[in-house]
Structure 1
Amino acid sequence: EDSDYNQSQIAQYLNCSQSTYSRIESGIQDIPTQFLKKLAKLYGVTTDFLLEMDKE
């Protein structure tokens, strides 16, 4: 959503394809735990925070 990163950059950071990241972002595919941890580190938040964002 509001980020300094685009899908391609985040996909590269996660070492996955942009299409895989797009499916995760849109809720079509569940996010692997290791991706969740890496995103939390990237954004400086907890994994709980990221999971709560998904509920909104």
Structure 2
Amino acid sequence: MTARLGSGFDVIELDSAQGNSGGFGQRAHAVLTHEVREKPDHPTLKARADGVALFP
């Protein structure tokens, strides 16, 4: 996606390895919706804030 969209696309990778600190399952895919955790400093909360900030 980055090759096609350049700066119009931002990759947000979250660790889904077994025992990861975010508590994600290996098949987690909806980290901006279903998997978001409303905890300060949680990676999904930051990812959601970064995504929303892209919209004017």
Shorter chain as denominator, the TM-score bin is: 0.3 to 0.5
Q: Which protein is bigger by CA-based radius of gyration?
A: 2
> Given the two structures, how large is their TM-score scaled by the length of structure 2?
0.38
